[in-house]
Each structure stands twice: as C-alpha cells, then as structure tokens.
C-alpha cells in the first residue's frame, strides 16, 4: 500500500499576509489542493495524512470539501518544527507500506518524480528526489569563502519516500530541531540512501514571487 504524509503546519511567515502560503490561490485552487491531487492522480487508493497547524484548521475546512483528493485525508495537528510535524504524521501510518513525506508547498511535483521515488523506496528502502546544481556554489568560511565542486553536489526535493517501518524507527530517535530533511533522519539509522531524479518545476513556494512563478509554470 502507498501512503503519504503532507506537512502543512508551517506558519508561512516569509510570505507575509494573513493567509498561509499553502492555502493561497494558485490558478483557481489552493496550493495544498494542487499538491494532494498530484498524489491522488498517481494512486487514488493512497492513504494520506495531512499535518496542519491548529490555528489553520479554519483554512482547511474552507477548502477540503472542494476536491476528492482532500476528502479522504486524515488530519492531525503539527508540532513546533518540521521534524515534530513529520513524526506526528508518521504515527498514523501503518507498518508495511511505502510512505512519502512531502511539503504541502510543492504543488508542481511531476507524476514521473512521484513514480521514481515510490519505486525506489519499494526496491531499496528509500527514494530521494535530487537535482544537479547549475550554479557554481561557495561555502562561507571563517576567513571568507571557498568554492565547492559543483559536480559532486545535489539539491534535495520532496517527496522523500521510504518503507514505513524503516522511517518510523528512524524518527523514534532524538534529533536537533535544525534537521530539515527526512533523508538525513533515515540515513542516521539505516545508512545508504537511493537518490533519483527530481523535476526542476518542483519548487518550494516560500516567497510571493514563487507563487507567481508557479502560476506561470501551470
């Protein structure tokens, strides 16, 4: 069985305005509805848990009856940081399935990326979507900065997909709240990750200009 935890409990403060970014309109539908529909289209039987902030329940109630993809979702309230929110979502996922963890604010994930991640997790335990770097990259150091070898670096996206028993046991460990990615949590207990190709349009909507870009892409 395929399952999914969609983390949507962030405050969205960087965007500004009264409505958090995951509930903003993107070409006629809330951002999070686009996101849920992508996974529902991939597998209409998928079990979806949506992790929401308590204060945002009113926004969810307004939109959740607007799409079949949202109607069947189980809802849980999130935690202080992304790590706590993922852990709370995973508690509702049974063992024995393949579970993706996805940012609600990445509505442009492709069917191909979703497929590559779920298949890799089924075969190897994990499937992590990454992109090669196009820009040169520098690391800030005490003395100034230094060039990093671009060819050996990757940008990491979501969905990050795992066998559910493996990611749940990894999340039973204690971690600093600074952890921003599920792959690192998995790796610390289970070792090697399987990286697959993500898609460049799968941007994380963080700033107002990202919403304009997503609208153009659609």
Site for ligand C5P contains 105 (CB under 6 A): yes
Residues 12, 15, 17, 23: what is their CA dihedral angle, to the nearest 10 degrees?
Answer: -50
Stretch of residues binding ligand C5P (CB under 6 A), selected from 4-12, 117-125, 143-151, 170-178? 4-12
List the interface residues with ligand C5P, window 83-102 (CB under 6 A): 85
**Phi, psi (degrees; rounded to nearest 5) at 52:** -120, 155
As measured in angstroms, the least distance from the Cβ of 146 to ligand C5P is: 26
Binding map of ligand C5P across residues 18-37, x = CB under 6 A, - = no contact: ----x---------------
Structure tokens of 188?
A: 């610390």
Q: Which of 81, 110, 169, 199 binds ligand C5P (CB under 6 A)?
A: 81
Structure tokens of 200?
A: 């460049």
Site for ligand C5P contains 77 (CB under 6 A): no
Site for ligand C5P contains 121 (CB under 6 A): no
The residues near 136 (Cβ < 8 Å, ≥ 6 apart) are 147, 150
Specify whether the CB–CB gap between 52 and 77 falls below 8 A.
Answer: yes
Site for ligand C5P contains 7 (CB under 6 A): yes
Q: How many residues bind ligand C5P (CB under 6 A)?
A: 17
Site for ligand C5P contains 10 (CB under 6 A): yes
* Helix axes of 31-42 and 111-124: crossing angle, nearest 10 degrees: 60
């Amino acid at each position: 069985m395929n399952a999914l935890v969609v983390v949507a409990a962030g405050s969205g403060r960087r965007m500004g305005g009264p409505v958090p970014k995951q509930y903003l309109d993107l070409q006629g539908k809330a951002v999070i509805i686009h996101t849920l529909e992508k996974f529902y289209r991939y597998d209409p039987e998928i079990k979806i848990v949506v992790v929401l902030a308590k204060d945002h329940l009113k926004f969810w109630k307004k939109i959740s009856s607007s799409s079949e993809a949202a109607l069947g979702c189980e809802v849980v309230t999130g935690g202080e940081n992304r790590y706590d929110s993922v852990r709370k979502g995973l508690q509702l996922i049974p063992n024995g399935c393949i579970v993706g963890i996805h940012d609600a604010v990445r509505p442009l994930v492709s069917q191909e990326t979703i497929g590559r991640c779920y298949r890799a997790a089924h075969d190897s335990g994990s499937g992590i979507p990454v992109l090669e770097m196009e820009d040169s990259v520098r690391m800030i150091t005490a003395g100034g900065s230094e060039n990093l070898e671009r060819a050996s670096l990757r940008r990491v996206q979501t969905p990050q997909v795992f066998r559910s028993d493996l990611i749940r046991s990894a999340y039973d460990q204690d971690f600093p709240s600074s952890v921003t990615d599920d792959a690192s949590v998995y790796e610390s207990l289970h070792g090697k990750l399987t990286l697959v190709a993500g898609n460049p349009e799968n941007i994380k909507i963080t700033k107002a200009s990202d919403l304009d870009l997503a609208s153009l892409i659609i």
